């Protein structure tokens, strides 16, 4: 059996993928490693956390997190602002670290 998220080989009795941690559901979708092109992307979708430069206000960190968690960017900006304002100001530290660590998205306009 293969993981539906990353395509890694798993034992038939496995409950979670050892590579990505994806739980194995009741419906089994087998990943074919020989697929290429758009079919492979649909068989094993992979989300990556990146800074979204197109929807940025400062550095694109909130936009990237909103895309990754599939949520509204406004709510994420409000949450991040609240974390930045109230002590111990973890939002400021997390934003700066995310800005430095996360790669830019390779999307074009």
pTM, whole model, 2 decimals? 0.56
Residues with Cβ within 8 Å of 25's Cβ and at least 6 positions away in sequence, in order, are none
Q: Comparing 36 with 86, which gets the higher pLDDT?
A: 86
Write down the pLDDT at residue 7. Answer: 79
Write down the pLDDT at residue 34. Answer: 56
Q: Would residue 10 be called left, alpha or beta, if left means φ above 0 and alpha means ψ between -120 and 50 degrees?
A: beta
């Amino acid at each position: 059996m293969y993981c539906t998220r990353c395509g890694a080989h798993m034992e038939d009795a496995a409950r979670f993928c050892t590579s990505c941690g994806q739980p194995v559901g009741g419906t089994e979708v087998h990943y074919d490693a020989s697929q290429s092109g758009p079919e492979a992307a649909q068989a094993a979708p992979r989300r990556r956390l990146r800074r979204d430069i197109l929807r940025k206000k400062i550095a694109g960190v909130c936009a990237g997190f909103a895309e990754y968690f599939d949520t509204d960017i406004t709510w994420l900006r409000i949450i991040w602002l609240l974390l930045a304002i109230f002590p111990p100001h973890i939002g400021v530290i997390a934003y700066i670290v995310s800005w430095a660590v996360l790669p830019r998205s390779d999307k074009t306009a």
